[in-house]
Structure 1
């Protein structure tokens, strides 16, 4: 009987702690235009930062691949002649 009551107590405490943790986080809806504008501007800033990072990464990789292709093209043209 003690084992069953202990198991029930533990499972109830686990459920209660899970419910408490979920109540702190979640999606909230706001109709305040100032909050909406602030969130949209933050999202646009994040998007532009991500685009800049991707552009920098693609430029660096194309720069590296350009050198890589040139080094392979020289032996091919040299061996073909």
Structure 2
């Protein structure tokens, strides 16, 4: 029982410290047009990169070759008796 209580306590401590570390940034609002334009351009760049990666993944199987390699098997050299 003590081990379970200790594990729960440590887990709660980790979650609380993570929440505390994130609380100081939060969501900010800006009315500066240059900041807004910069953020929008970054978002568009990220979106286009994600679209390109998704298109590459969907096209990759179509580009695979259907040719099979021939297996070159050498005749086994047996002892001549």
TM-score, normalising length: structure 2: 0.51
User: Paired residue for 1:23?
Assistant: 23
User: Paired residue for 1:41?
Assistant: 41
User: Paired residue for 2:32?
Assistant: 32
Q: Measure, in 2, the Cα distance between the counterparts of 1:38 and 1:46.
A: 12
Give the paired residue count: 54
Going from structure 1 to structure 2, the CA distance change for 1:55 and 1:22 (only over 3 Å counts) comes to closer
TM-score, normalising length: structure 1: 0.51
5+ unaligned residues in a row in structure 2: which ranges?
A: 1-12, 69-81
The SS at the match of 1:37 is helix
Which 4+ runs in 1 deviate beyond 6 A? none
5+ unaligned residues in a row in structure 1: which ranges?
A: 1-13, 72-81
